[in-house]
Chains A and B, each alone.
Chain A
């Protein structure tokens, strides 16, 4: 009997170890040059002194290829790369890593002379605070969070505004009068999507019933557990929900597939225009629209300001509907019948007539 518990204990411990170890493992295997975009990006980073190096990108879990906000950031980099021929390095976070892993990642980029160093994702908030202090001459970009330091460009996106428009579209398109929201992880960031969507639905049609659920309370695994998202979406569909807005990174693939399995149901994508995603091409006729976060605009702005204008963009820079930092996709033309109402709502938000709350 004692051996049973011993082996069980050893199993649990090694499971924990393996999870953390895999985290390290996969983050190191992601250490390589830019894989997409132009060829010059993947050339070796041996050239010149420290200061002439290109952009250091630190992605969030999911990395380049998440068909979502990491990809969007990568597009900004690729665009700048195409114009300025940069020599960049890209690193990606893994599941279950610790604060010191993130600090180390940013530190290694800054220490190697990459400038600017762009941290994609709110999880880097504290790490940027620490590392930015250590390298005052490097400009840091932080997506989705605010750090008050003289050399940090905090890029915040008014995702509640695009989510509000998604809510308007959902309320106008539902036939059953039930719409759903699936969040990957219940935190402040995903809360802005939730809040905007809920307000949009309510302002448009108060009678529409909204179900709001999250995959995980705190575990960032929520952003790449498509199996769970699929089960969640199926549960909503079975209860009569016919428009589902999923803000859960890679997990969204699972939910979009389930929605596509039910005729007449619509999925709303997030962060990038998921209608255009080749991996989801089979399901694109069920993707009503996507609430786009144009991280590429912000990243491109920052790189340009550092590399071309030599006047690094710092401070808190807000990207919203007014400056096209966020938007609602129209590809597929599924919204043409209600476009007028969406445009009207957009105008009201831009003019300040509607204030969209960012907390649910």
Chain B
């Protein structure tokens, strides 16, 4: 064990660490400081703009509900792409998850639904693996095909299953499953109530904190907890075990991995199948959240999950942030529309101002000038209007994601062999 550990991996490991070290790696205290600063800025904006919903517990709970399916799809993408297989088929695997989850969830119980949805997604993943790994079909084309196939298959099955007999009398239709029971959700007993009374006072910072924590401890679905566990588990499995190292080596340099005796095909198969299962779980979350399978209910969340994964630099932590950002922005625009988004303008102005100062200190005067200019523009926009046009409000989650992705794109590094075809023995 120790002998092998000292032989091959170390030469690679320091290089990887050194590469990251040059990019100001964030330590835990620094992250906590950033989070604290962000909360202070947000609560200040909340107090100034009077948009109380920005940090309300309902808003945070809504953001969480919006973020979990995206995060799970993204996590699926992460597994697959870390092993070098691009998975555009996440959306289709999510659709399979909604359908099979709802089917078993209705006819048996919600937890069997979770299992069935995950298995359904895994079937989609397995198909993707067979087609791309064994037969070497272009990964993007195969993914698109799976999306189309999943939509077609579920539409067909829904008509055959939900529209007949017992299902139909319980409200099933070709577009909708009969209702599914609730899955267990958790509330931290006294804390949640105490926080909600604190929140109602609208005190600066204290109520904001109470709202945020309150949203995180009230009525949390077991599936949300499961998602959190899966994120932590993914990190440990992929970055702290030899299995994970081998899996990632298939995504970085499969030829080298093969030369060291790794069965690259097998690892790719495992990764893509797990990927499908995670996307399927994201689908189940949607179905159980609305208590129905509804045709088209994934509404492109699989693609957004993929974007969140790229945003997160193919790392679980970054992915969770990306999904959280999208969920937050989406929940904000859905819940209170133009009021909160109007307050967001002020927040953006403050952030850009901070960025301008940062750039100025770093002597990047041009970027500083741009940031300052945009900050002033946003501030003027905020001051001269009372609401934001609905079109902009509804686009805000997409714009926010795009902006952040644009700003962070130069720092991204995808797995080196991601998306490239690999044949056994191609290294000669």
Flag if A29 contacts B335 (CB, 8 Å): no
User: Among B152, B170, B175, B414, which residue has its beta carbon within 8 angstroms of that of A7?
Assistant: B414
Q: What is the number of residues of chain B that contact chain A, defined by CB distance less than 8 Å?
A: 62
State how many angstroms separate the Cβ of A253 from the closest Cβ of chain B.
6
Q: Counting CB contacts under 8 A, is A122 at the interface?
A: no
How far is B340's CA from A213's CA once the two chains are assembled, in angstroms? 14
Stretch in A12-20, A45-53, A337-345 touching the partner: A12-20
Q: Counting CB contacts under 8 A, is A311 at the interface?
A: no
Q: List A contacts of B292 (CB < 8 A).
A: 226, 253, 279
Stretch in A139-147, A148-156, A214-222, A347-355 touching the partner: A214-222
Q: List B contacts of A64 (CB < 8 A).
A: 173-174
How far is B151's CA from A25's CA once the two chains are assembled, in angstroms? 8
The binding surface of chain B is classed by DSSP as helix
B: residues with CB less than 8 A from A are 53, 56, 58-59, 62, 65-66, 86, 88, 91, 140-141, 143-144, 147-148, 151-152, 155-156, 159, 163, 169-176, 178-179, 286, 289-292, 294-297, 299-300, 303, 306-307, 310, 330-331, 334-337, 390-391, 394, 409-410, 412, 414, 418-419
Q: Contacts A19-B300, A64-B173, A238-B335 given; indicate if A26 touches B294 (C-beta within 8 A).
A: no
Q: List B contacts of A238 (CB < 8 A).
A: 53, 56, 58, 335
How far is B300's CA from A95's CA once the two chains are assembled, in angstroms? 12
Flag if B173 contacts A67 (CB, 8 Å): yes
Most buried by A among B58, B175, B286: B175
Closest to A279 in B: B171
A: residues with CB less than 8 A from B are 1, 3-5, 7-8, 10-11, 14-15, 17-19, 21-22, 25-26, 29-30, 32, 35-36, 62-67, 71, 94-95, 186, 213-217, 221, 224-228, 230-232, 234-235, 238-239, 250, 253-254, 257, 277-282
Q: Which 8 A-B pairs have the closest CB atoms?
A: A65-B173, A279-B171, A235-B335, A278-B171, A22-B151, A231-B334, A238-B58, A18-B147
Q: List A contacts of B140 (CB < 8 A).
A: 7, 10-11, 14
Q: List A contacts of B414 (CB < 8 A).
A: 3-4, 7
A-B contact pairs, 25 of them (CB 8 A): A3-B414, A18-B144, A22-B152, A25-B152, A29-B159, A35-B174, A64-B173, A66-B173, A66-B175, A94-B296, A224-B294, A225-B297, A226-B292, A231-B62, A235-B336, A250-B175, A250-B176, A257-B290, A277-B171, A278-B170, A278-B171, A279-B173, A279-B179, A279-B292, A281-B171
Flag if B152 contacts A29 (CB, 8 Å): yes
How far is B179's CA from A275's CA once the two chains are assembled, in angstroms? 15
Flag if A26 contacts B169 (CB, 8 Å): no
Closest to B158 in A: A65
How far is B65's CA from A25's CA once the two chains are assembled, in angstroms? 29
Closest to A253 in B: B292
Q: Contacts A22-B148, A65-B173, A279-B171 given; indicate if A14 touches B336 (C-beta within 8 A).
A: no
Closest to B178 in A: A279
How far is B331's CA from A259's CA once the two chains are assembled, in angstroms? 17
